[in-house]
Protein backbone atom coordinates (compact mmCIF):
# COMPACT_ATOMS: atom_id res chain seq x y z
CA UNK A 1 0.00 0.00 0.00
CA UNK A 2 1.01 3.60 -0.54
CA UNK A 3 0.49 6.25 2.12
CA UNK A 4 1.41 9.85 2.72
CA UNK A 5 1.28 10.89 6.37
CA UNK A 6 0.79 14.64 6.32
CA UNK A 7 1.05 17.20 9.12
CA UNK A 8 2.15 17.15 12.74
CA UNK A 9 5.64 16.51 14.10
CA UNK A 10 7.86 13.63 13.01
CA UNK A 11 10.27 12.40 15.68
CA UNK A 12 12.60 10.49 13.38
CA UNK A 13 15.19 9.23 15.91
CA UNK A 14 17.73 9.70 13.13
CA UNK A 15 20.13 12.35 11.91
CA UNK A 16 17.09 14.07 10.37
CA UNK A 17 15.95 15.09 13.86
CA UNK A 18 12.42 16.39 14.37
CA UNK A 19 10.45 17.57 11.35
CA UNK A 20 7.53 19.82 12.24
CA UNK A 21 4.50 20.10 9.95
CA UNK A 22 6.07 17.24 8.07
CA UNK A 23 5.26 14.40 5.70
CA UNK A 24 6.23 10.71 5.54
CA UNK A 25 5.87 8.76 2.31
CA UNK A 26 5.32 5.00 2.57
CA UNK A 27 5.52 2.60 -0.35
CA UNK A 28 5.72 -1.22 -0.47
CA UNK A 29 6.34 -1.53 3.26
CA UNK A 30 9.15 1.03 3.42
CA UNK A 31 9.60 4.71 4.09
CA UNK A 32 10.77 6.31 0.86
CA UNK A 33 10.71 10.01 1.74
CA UNK A 34 10.57 12.26 4.83
CA UNK A 35 10.33 16.03 4.74
CA UNK A 36 8.06 19.03 5.05
CA UNK A 37 4.38 18.71 4.16
CA UNK A 38 5.24 20.21 0.75
CA UNK A 39 6.59 16.87 -0.47
CA UNK A 40 3.06 15.41 -0.33
CA UNK A 41 2.28 17.01 -3.69
CA UNK A 42 4.94 14.84 -5.34
CA UNK A 43 2.94 11.72 -4.55
CA UNK A 44 -0.55 12.09 -6.04
CA UNK A 45 -2.85 9.13 -5.59
CA UNK A 46 -1.29 7.94 -2.33
CA UNK A 47 -3.74 7.35 0.52
CA UNK A 48 -3.52 10.29 2.88
CA UNK A 49 -3.35 10.00 6.66
CA UNK A 50 -4.05 13.37 8.22
CA UNK A 51 -1.60 13.71 11.13
CA UNK A 52 -2.38 17.35 11.91
CA UNK A 53 -1.97 17.92 15.64
CA UNK A 54 -0.25 14.56 15.97
CA UNK A 55 3.29 13.30 16.61
CA UNK A 56 4.73 10.40 14.61
CA UNK A 57 7.39 8.21 16.21
CA UNK A 58 9.11 4.98 15.18
CA UNK A 59 7.10 1.98 16.30
CA UNK A 60 8.21 1.08 19.82
CA UNK A 61 10.19 -2.13 20.37
CA UNK A 62 9.54 -4.16 23.53
CA UNK A 63 12.71 -6.18 24.14
CA UNK A 64 11.53 -8.54 26.89
CA UNK A 65 8.10 -10.10 27.09
CA UNK A 66 6.15 -13.31 27.50
CA UNK A 67 3.13 -12.32 25.46
CA UNK A 68 1.18 -15.56 25.94
CA UNK A 69 0.87 -14.66 29.61
CA UNK A 70 -1.96 -12.35 28.61
CA UNK A 71 -4.19 -15.01 30.17
CA UNK A 72 -2.49 -14.57 33.58
CA UNK A 73 -2.95 -10.82 34.08
CA UNK A 74 -3.87 -10.32 37.76
CA UNK A 75 -3.74 -14.07 38.48
CA UNK A 76 -0.90 -14.03 41.01
CA UNK A 77 -0.24 -10.53 42.29
CA UNK A 78 1.62 -9.32 45.37
CA UNK A 79 3.88 -12.37 45.70
CA UNK A 80 7.64 -12.89 45.85
CA UNK A 81 9.22 -14.08 42.60
CA UNK A 82 9.99 -17.63 43.76
CA UNK A 83 6.48 -18.20 45.12
CA UNK A 84 4.94 -16.41 42.12
CA UNK A 85 6.75 -18.73 39.69
CA UNK A 86 6.78 -22.06 41.51
CA UNK A 87 3.39 -22.10 43.23
CA UNK A 88 1.25 -20.11 40.82
CA UNK A 89 2.64 -19.44 37.35
CA UNK A 90 4.29 -22.78 36.53
CA UNK A 91 1.29 -24.88 37.72
CA UNK A 92 -1.03 -22.68 35.60
CA UNK A 93 1.24 -22.96 32.57
CA UNK A 94 1.41 -26.75 32.89
CA UNK A 95 -2.31 -26.86 32.00
CA UNK A 96 -2.12 -24.63 28.92
CA UNK A 97 -2.90 -25.96 25.47
CA UNK A 98 -1.38 -24.56 22.30
CA UNK A 99 -4.63 -22.73 21.63
CA UNK A 100 -4.57 -21.14 25.11
CA UNK A 101 -1.05 -19.90 24.37
CA UNK A 102 -2.21 -18.48 21.05
CA UNK A 103 -5.18 -16.64 22.57
CA UNK A 104 -3.11 -15.16 25.40
CA UNK A 105 -0.43 -14.07 22.95
CA UNK A 106 -2.94 -12.56 20.54
CA UNK A 107 -4.55 -10.64 23.40
CA UNK A 108 -1.20 -9.10 24.38
CA UNK A 109 -0.21 -8.47 20.76
CA UNK A 110 -3.39 -6.47 20.19
CA UNK A 111 -2.88 -4.52 23.41
CA UNK A 112 0.72 -3.79 22.40
CA UNK A 113 -0.11 -2.64 18.88
CA UNK A 114 -2.91 -0.38 20.10
CA UNK A 115 -0.37 1.34 22.37
CA UNK A 116 2.19 1.94 19.62
CA UNK A 117 4.45 -1.11 19.99
CA UNK A 118 5.24 -2.67 16.63
CA UNK A 119 7.94 -5.23 17.53
CA UNK A 120 8.18 -7.59 20.50
CA UNK A 121 10.90 -9.93 21.76
CA UNK A 122 9.08 -12.76 23.51
CA UNK A 123 10.00 -15.98 25.31
CA UNK A 124 7.47 -18.70 26.06
CA UNK A 125 6.48 -22.33 25.61
CA UNK A 126 6.17 -23.18 21.92
CA UNK A 127 3.51 -25.52 20.57
CA UNK A 128 3.59 -26.64 16.93
CA UNK A 129 -0.13 -26.14 16.33
CA UNK A 130 -0.74 -22.74 17.95
CA UNK A 131 1.95 -20.41 19.27
CA UNK A 132 3.11 -16.89 20.00
CA UNK A 133 4.57 -16.80 16.50
CA UNK A 134 1.16 -17.45 14.94
CA UNK A 135 -0.42 -14.79 17.16
CA UNK A 136 2.18 -12.23 16.12
CA UNK A 137 1.69 -13.11 12.47
CA UNK A 138 -2.12 -12.90 12.69
CA UNK A 139 -2.04 -9.59 14.55
CA UNK A 140 0.16 -7.95 11.92
CA UNK A 141 2.95 -7.33 14.43
CA UNK A 142 6.69 -7.93 14.05
CA UNK A 143 8.44 -10.18 16.55
CA UNK A 144 11.33 -12.29 17.77
CA UNK A 145 10.00 -15.53 19.26
CA UNK A 146 11.79 -18.11 21.38
CA UNK A 147 10.85 -21.40 23.04
CA UNK A 148 11.84 -21.23 26.71
CA UNK A 149 14.30 -23.99 27.62
CA UNK A 150 14.76 -25.83 30.94
CA UNK A 151 17.13 -28.63 31.96
CA UNK A 152 14.30 -30.95 32.96
CA UNK A 153 12.97 -31.15 29.40
CA UNK A 154 16.15 -30.84 27.37
CA UNK A 155 15.28 -33.28 24.59
CA UNK A 156 11.80 -31.84 24.02
CA UNK A 157 13.16 -28.28 24.08
CA UNK A 158 15.65 -28.97 21.31
CA UNK A 159 12.99 -30.58 19.11
CA UNK A 160 10.55 -27.72 19.65
CA UNK A 161 13.22 -25.08 19.06
CA UNK A 162 14.15 -26.79 15.82
CA UNK A 163 10.51 -26.86 14.72
CA UNK A 164 10.04 -23.21 15.66
CA UNK A 165 13.10 -22.21 13.64
CA UNK A 166 12.18 -24.24 10.56
CA UNK A 167 8.55 -23.11 10.55
CA UNK A 168 8.87 -19.47 11.48
CA UNK A 169 12.31 -17.89 11.12
CA UNK A 170 12.10 -15.21 8.47
CA UNK A 171 8.40 -15.82 7.83
CA UNK A 172 6.82 -12.93 5.90
CA UNK A 173 9.83 -10.83 6.90
CA UNK A 174 8.12 -10.19 10.25
CA UNK A 175 9.07 -13.19 12.40
CA UNK A 176 12.48 -14.18 13.66
CA UNK A 177 13.48 -16.84 16.16
CA UNK A 178 15.74 -16.70 19.21
CA UNK A 179 17.35 -19.36 21.40
CA UNK A 180 15.97 -18.96 24.92
CA UNK A 181 17.49 -20.62 27.98
CA UNK A 182 15.22 -19.57 30.83
CA UNK A 183 17.95 -18.67 33.34
CA UNK A 184 21.27 -19.88 34.71
CA UNK A 185 19.49 -21.51 37.69
CA UNK A 186 17.06 -23.55 35.54
CA UNK A 187 19.46 -24.48 32.72
CA UNK A 188 22.54 -26.50 33.68
CA UNK A 189 26.01 -25.43 32.48
CA UNK A 190 26.40 -27.99 29.69
CA UNK A 191 22.91 -27.31 28.34
CA UNK A 192 23.51 -23.55 28.47
CA UNK A 193 26.65 -24.00 26.37
CA UNK A 194 24.81 -26.33 23.98
CA UNK A 195 22.07 -23.76 23.43
CA UNK A 196 24.59 -20.99 22.84
CA UNK A 197 26.42 -23.17 20.33
CA UNK A 198 23.10 -23.76 18.58
CA UNK A 199 22.66 -19.99 18.31
CA UNK A 200 26.11 -19.67 16.76
CA UNK A 201 25.48 -22.56 14.33
CA UNK A 202 22.23 -21.06 13.11
CA UNK A 203 23.90 -17.69 12.59
CA UNK A 204 26.69 -19.32 10.60
CA UNK A 205 24.02 -20.64 8.22
CA UNK A 206 22.07 -17.39 7.90
CA UNK A 207 23.80 -14.02 8.20
CA UNK A 208 20.88 -11.94 6.93
CA UNK A 209 18.41 -12.71 9.74
CA UNK A 210 20.37 -13.18 12.98
CA UNK A 211 19.22 -15.47 15.78
CA UNK A 212 19.61 -13.94 19.23
CA UNK A 213 20.25 -15.60 22.61
CA UNK A 214 17.54 -14.40 25.03
CA UNK A 215 17.69 -15.16 28.75
CA UNK A 216 16.96 -13.84 32.24
CA UNK A 217 20.10 -12.73 34.09
CA UNK A 218 20.81 -11.43 37.61
CA UNK A 219 17.14 -10.67 38.24
CA UNK A 220 17.30 -11.51 41.95
CA UNK A 221 20.04 -11.37 44.55
CA UNK A 222 19.92 -15.08 45.34
CA UNK A 223 20.69 -16.42 41.86
CA UNK A 224 24.22 -17.62 42.79
CA UNK A 225 22.66 -19.66 45.61
CA UNK A 226 20.02 -21.04 43.24
CA UNK A 227 22.67 -22.16 40.73
CA UNK A 228 24.64 -23.98 43.43
CA UNK A 229 21.49 -25.60 44.84
CA UNK A 230 20.25 -26.70 41.40
CA UNK A 231 23.49 -27.91 39.83
CA UNK A 232 26.12 -28.03 42.57
CA UNK A 233 28.12 -25.37 40.74
CA UNK A 234 29.88 -22.36 42.25
CA UNK A 235 29.28 -19.18 40.30
CA UNK A 236 32.32 -17.32 41.55
CA UNK A 237 31.69 -13.65 42.21
CA UNK A 238 28.39 -13.49 40.34
CA UNK A 239 26.12 -15.12 37.80
CA UNK A 240 27.44 -12.68 35.18
CA UNK A 241 31.01 -13.89 35.65
CA UNK A 242 29.68 -17.47 35.75
CA UNK A 243 27.99 -16.99 32.36
CA UNK A 244 31.13 -15.37 30.97
CA UNK A 245 33.21 -18.35 32.10
CA UNK A 246 30.78 -20.60 30.24
CA UNK A 247 31.45 -18.52 27.11
CA UNK A 248 27.80 -17.69 26.46
CA UNK A 249 27.93 -13.90 26.68
CA UNK A 250 28.46 -12.13 23.36
CA UNK A 251 26.85 -9.71 20.91
CA UNK A 252 23.93 -12.14 20.35
CA UNK A 253 22.99 -12.16 24.05
CA UNK A 254 19.88 -10.29 25.11
CA UNK A 255 19.86 -10.34 28.92
CA UNK A 256 16.69 -9.35 30.73
CA UNK A 257 16.80 -7.53 34.09
CA UNK A 258 20.48 -7.42 35.19
CA UNK A 259 19.46 -5.94 38.54
CA UNK A 260 22.22 -7.42 40.71
CA UNK A 261 25.38 -6.53 38.83
CA UNK A 262 28.64 -5.17 40.20
CA UNK A 263 31.09 -2.81 38.54
CA UNK A 264 33.04 -5.86 37.40
CA UNK A 265 29.86 -7.38 35.98
CA UNK A 266 29.10 -4.18 34.08
CA UNK A 267 32.61 -4.30 32.62
CA UNK A 268 31.94 -7.85 31.43
CA UNK A 269 28.60 -6.87 29.87
CA UNK A 270 30.25 -3.98 28.05
CA UNK A 271 33.25 -6.01 26.92
CA UNK A 272 31.09 -8.86 25.60
CA UNK A 273 28.62 -6.46 23.94
CA UNK A 274 25.67 -7.97 25.79
CA UNK A 275 22.36 -6.16 25.32
CA UNK A 276 20.59 -5.48 28.62
CA UNK A 277 16.81 -5.18 28.84
CA UNK A 278 15.60 -2.94 31.64
CA UNK A 279 12.20 -4.00 33.06
CA UNK A 280 11.62 -1.43 35.81
CA UNK A 281 7.91 -2.00 36.48
CA UNK A 282 8.21 -5.78 36.69
CA UNK A 283 11.28 -5.47 38.93
CA UNK A 284 9.44 -3.11 41.25
CA UNK A 285 6.25 -5.18 41.38
CA UNK A 286 8.15 -8.37 42.24
CA UNK A 287 10.44 -6.39 44.58
CA UNK A 288 13.50 -7.59 42.69
CA UNK A 289 15.22 -4.21 42.94
CA UNK A 290 16.39 -1.53 40.54
CA UNK A 291 19.02 -2.18 37.90
CA UNK A 292 21.95 0.31 37.82
CA UNK A 293 21.10 1.48 34.32
CA UNK A 294 22.90 4.87 34.39
CA UNK A 295 26.14 3.09 35.38
CA UNK A 296 25.70 0.64 32.51
CA UNK A 297 25.10 3.40 29.99
CA UNK A 298 28.16 5.25 31.25
CA UNK A 299 30.25 2.14 30.60
CA UNK A 300 28.87 1.74 27.07
CA UNK A 301 26.43 -1.14 27.66
CA UNK A 302 23.60 -1.22 25.12
CA UNK A 303 20.42 -0.79 27.19
CA UNK A 304 16.88 -1.41 25.95
CA UNK A 305 13.47 -1.53 27.63
CA UNK A 306 10.88 -4.24 28.21
CA UNK A 307 7.55 -4.44 29.98
CA UNK A 308 7.95 -8.12 30.88
CA UNK A 309 4.72 -10.13 30.96
CA UNK A 310 1.35 -8.72 31.98
CA UNK A 311 1.43 -11.20 34.85
CA UNK A 312 4.36 -9.36 36.41
CA UNK A 313 3.56 -5.89 35.07
CA UNK A 314 -0.20 -5.98 34.34
CA UNK A 315 0.07 -3.70 31.30
CA UNK A 316 1.87 -4.02 28.01
CA UNK A 317 2.16 -0.25 27.61
CA UNK A 318 5.65 0.88 26.66
CA UNK A 319 4.80 4.50 27.41
CA UNK A 320 4.23 3.62 31.06
CA UNK A 321 7.50 1.66 31.15
CA UNK A 322 9.45 4.47 29.49
CA UNK A 323 8.17 6.94 32.08
CA UNK A 324 9.17 4.63 34.94
CA UNK A 325 12.59 4.23 33.33
CA UNK A 326 13.12 7.97 33.29
CA UNK A 327 11.79 8.72 36.77
CA UNK A 328 13.17 5.87 38.88
CA UNK A 329 16.79 6.61 38.14
CA UNK A 330 16.40 10.33 38.74
CA UNK A 331 15.17 9.45 42.21
CA UNK A 332 17.76 6.79 42.95
CA UNK A 333 20.64 8.93 41.68
CA UNK A 334 19.15 12.15 43.09
CA UNK A 335 19.99 13.76 39.78
CA UNK A 336 17.23 15.17 37.52
CA UNK A 337 19.56 15.10 34.51
CA UNK A 338 19.90 11.30 34.60
CA UNK A 339 17.98 9.36 31.92
CA UNK A 340 16.76 12.32 29.84
CA UNK A 341 13.70 11.81 27.65
CA UNK A 342 15.64 11.41 24.40
CA UNK A 343 17.84 8.67 25.88
CA UNK A 344 14.82 6.73 27.11
CA UNK A 345 13.08 6.93 23.73
CA UNK A 346 16.33 5.85 22.08
CA UNK A 347 16.37 2.74 24.30
CA UNK A 348 12.90 1.82 23.05
CA UNK A 349 13.64 2.42 19.37
CA UNK A 350 17.15 2.62 17.89
CA UNK A 351 18.95 0.72 20.67
CA UNK A 352 16.21 -1.91 20.75
CA UNK A 353 16.51 -2.56 17.01
CA UNK A 354 20.29 -2.91 17.41
CA UNK A 355 19.83 -5.30 20.33
CA UNK A 356 17.58 -7.55 18.26
CA UNK A 357 20.05 -7.19 15.36
CA UNK A 358 17.19 -6.15 13.08
CA UNK A 359 18.28 -3.65 10.46
CA UNK A 360 16.01 -0.88 9.16
CA UNK A 361 14.01 -0.65 12.40
CA UNK A 362 13.83 1.98 15.11
CA UNK A 363 13.86 5.19 13.06
CA UNK A 364 11.78 7.11 10.54
CA UNK A 365 14.04 7.61 7.55
CA UNK A 366 14.15 6.59 3.89
CA UNK A 367 14.98 2.93 3.40
CA UNK A 368 13.62 1.87 6.79
CA UNK A 369 10.58 -0.31 7.36
CA UNK A 370 7.36 1.63 7.68
CA UNK A 371 6.77 0.76 11.36
CA UNK A 372 5.28 3.98 12.66
CA UNK A 373 3.06 5.03 15.58
CA UNK A 374 1.12 8.28 15.39
CA UNK A 375 -0.07 9.86 18.63
CA UNK A 376 -2.93 12.34 18.87
CA UNK A 377 -1.56 15.32 20.79
CA UNK A 378 -4.80 17.27 20.65
CA UNK A 379 -5.61 16.39 24.22
CA UNK A 380 -5.54 18.37 27.46
CA UNK A 381 -2.65 16.34 28.93
CA UNK A 382 -0.53 16.91 25.81
CA UNK A 383 -1.10 20.60 25.16
CA UNK A 384 0.54 23.02 24.76
CA UNK A 385 3.61 21.43 23.21
CA UNK A 386 7.16 22.66 23.84
CA UNK A 387 9.29 19.54 23.44
CA UNK A 388 8.18 16.34 21.71
CA UNK A 389 10.64 14.07 23.54
CA UNK A 390 9.46 15.36 26.90
CA UNK A 391 5.77 14.82 26.16
CA UNK A 392 6.35 11.35 24.70
CA UNK A 393 8.15 10.12 27.84
CA UNK A 394 6.48 12.06 30.65
CA UNK A 395 2.94 12.81 29.46
CA UNK A 396 1.83 10.47 26.67
CA UNK A 397 -0.05 7.22 27.21
CA UNK A 398 -0.61 4.20 25.04
CA UNK A 399 -4.24 5.25 24.64
CA UNK A 400 -3.06 8.38 22.78
CA UNK A 401 -2.05 6.25 19.78
CA UNK A 402 -4.32 6.99 16.82
CA UNK A 403 -2.66 5.23 13.90
CA UNK A 404 -0.09 2.43 13.64
CA UNK A 405 1.62 1.17 10.52
CA UNK A 406 3.63 -2.06 10.54
CA UNK A 407 5.51 -3.10 7.44
CA UNK A 408 3.60 -0.39 5.61
CA UNK A 409 0.16 -1.76 6.54
CA UNK A 410 -2.33 0.31 8.53
CA UNK A 411 -3.01 -1.95 11.51
CA UNK A 412 -4.52 0.74 13.76
CA UNK A 413 -6.90 3.24 12.17
CA UNK A 414 -8.52 5.95 14.31
CA UNK A 415 -7.64 3.97 17.44
CA UNK A 416 -9.13 0.67 16.21
CA UNK A 417 -7.15 -2.40 15.23
CA UNK A 418 -7.82 -3.59 11.70
CA UNK A 419 -6.36 -7.12 11.84
CA UNK A 420 -8.29 -8.83 14.66
CA UNK A 421 -11.94 -9.06 15.73
CA UNK A 422 -11.47 -7.74 19.26
CA UNK A 423 -14.91 -8.79 20.54
CA UNK A 424 -14.26 -12.37 19.44
CA UNK A 425 -10.81 -12.25 21.06
CA UNK A 426 -12.15 -11.05 24.40
CA UNK A 427 -14.70 -13.87 24.47
CA UNK A 428 -12.01 -16.43 23.60
CA UNK A 429 -9.77 -15.10 26.38
CA UNK A 430 -12.50 -15.65 28.98
CA UNK A 431 -13.21 -19.14 27.63
CA UNK A 432 -9.51 -20.03 27.71
CA UNK A 433 -9.12 -18.75 31.28
CA UNK A 434 -12.11 -20.78 32.50
CA UNK A 435 -10.89 -23.88 30.69
CA UNK A 436 -7.45 -23.67 32.28
CA UNK A 437 -8.87 -23.10 35.76
CA UNK A 438 -11.15 -26.12 35.32
CA UNK A 439 -8.14 -28.27 34.43
CA UNK A 440 -6.18 -26.96 37.43
CA UNK A 441 -8.98 -27.77 39.88
CA UNK A 442 -10.07 -31.07 38.36
Q: Is residue 430 part of a domain?
A: no
Same domain, 371 and 413: yes
Q: Is residue 442 part of a domain?
A: no
Q: Is residue 427 part of a domain?
A: no
Same domain, 70 and 51: no
CA–CA gap between residue 97 and residue 274 (Å, rounded): 34
For residue 122, the model assigns a pLDDT of 98
For residue 83, the model assigns a pLDDT of 86
For residue 246, the model assigns a pLDDT of 97
Q: Is residue 317 part of a domain?
A: yes
Same domain, 37 and 108: no
Last residue of a domain, one of 301, 322, 355: 355
Asked whether the CA dihedral 24, 409, 390, 328 is positive or negative, the reply is negative
Q: Is residue 428 part of a domain?
A: no
Same domain, 143 and 248: yes
**What's the burial of 333, exposed, middle or buried (CB within 10 Å: 0-12/13-18/19+)?**
middle
Same domain, 377 and 304: no
Q: DSSP letters of 153-215?
A: GHHHHHHHHHHHHHHHTTGGGTEEEEEEE-BTTTS-HHHHHHHHHHHHHHHHH-SSSPPEEEE
Q: Is residue 422 part of a domain?
A: no
389 φ, ψ (degrees, to nearest 5): -60, -45
Write the DSSP symbol of residue 222.
T
Same domain, 100 and 80: yes
Among residues 254, 247, 243, which one has the least CA distance to residue 178? 254
For residue 84, the model assigns a pLDDT of 82
Write the DSSP symbol of residue 294.
H
33 forms bridges with which residues in the sheet? Answer: 25
Range of the domain at 24: 2-58+360-417
Q: Structurally, how many domains does the chain consist of?
A: 2
Same domain, 303 and 252: yes
176 φ, ψ (degrees, to nearest 5): -130, 165
For residue 312, the model assigns a pLDDT of 87
Same domain, 211 and 330: yes
For residue 81, the model assigns a pLDDT of 78
- For residue 155, what is the domain's CATH number? 3.20.20.140
Is residue 93 a contact partner of residue 85, using CB atoms and an 8 Å limit? no
- For residue 401, what is the domain's CATH number? 2.30.40.10
- Tell whether omega for the bond before 384 is within 30 degrees of 0, i.e. cis: yes
Pairing of strands 409-413, 401-406: antiparallel
Is residue 166 a contact partner of residue 139, using CB atoms and an 8 Å limit? no
For residue 441, the model assigns a pLDDT of 85
Q: Is residue 338 part of a domain?
A: yes
- Tens-level pLDDT at each residue, the chain (442 residues): 899 999 999 999 999 999 999 999 999 999 999 999 999 999 999 999 999 999 999 999 999 999 999 999 999 888 887 888 888 888 898 899 999 999 999 999 999 999 999 999 999 999 999 999 999 999 999 999 999 999 999 999 999 999 999 999 999 999 999 999 999 999 999 999 999 999 999 999 988 899 999 999 999 999 999 999 999 999 988 999 999 999 999 999 999 999 999 999 999 999 999 999 999 999 999 999 999 999 999 999 999 999 999 988 899 999 999 999 999 999 999 999 999 999 999 999 999 999 999 999 999 999 999 999 999 999 999 999 999 999 999 999 999 999 999 999 999 999 999 999 999 999 999 999 999 999 988 7
Q: What is the pTM of this model?
A: 0.97
> Starting from the edge strand earliest in sequence, which strands make up the sheet with 401-406, in order?
18-20, 9-11, 54-58, 372-376, 401-406, 409-413, 416-417
Q: Is residue 423 part of a domain?
A: no
For residue 440, the model assigns a pLDDT of 86
For residue 169, the model assigns a pLDDT of 97
For residue 27, the model assigns a pLDDT of 97
Same domain, 188 and 307: yes
Same domain, 290 and 340: yes
Amino acid sequence: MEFKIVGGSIVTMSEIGIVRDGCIIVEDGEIIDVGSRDIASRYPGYDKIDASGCVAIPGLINCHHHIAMGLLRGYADDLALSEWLEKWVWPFESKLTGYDIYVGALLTAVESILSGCTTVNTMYHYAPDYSEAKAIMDSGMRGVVGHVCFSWRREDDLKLTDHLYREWHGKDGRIRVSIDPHACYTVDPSYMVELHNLCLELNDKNHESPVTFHTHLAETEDEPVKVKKAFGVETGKSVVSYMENLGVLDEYTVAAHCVYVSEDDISILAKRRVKVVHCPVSNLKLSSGIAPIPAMLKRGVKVTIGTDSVCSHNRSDMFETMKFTALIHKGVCRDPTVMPAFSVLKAATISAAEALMWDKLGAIKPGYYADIAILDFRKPHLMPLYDEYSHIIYAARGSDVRYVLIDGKLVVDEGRITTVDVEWLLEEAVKARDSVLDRIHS
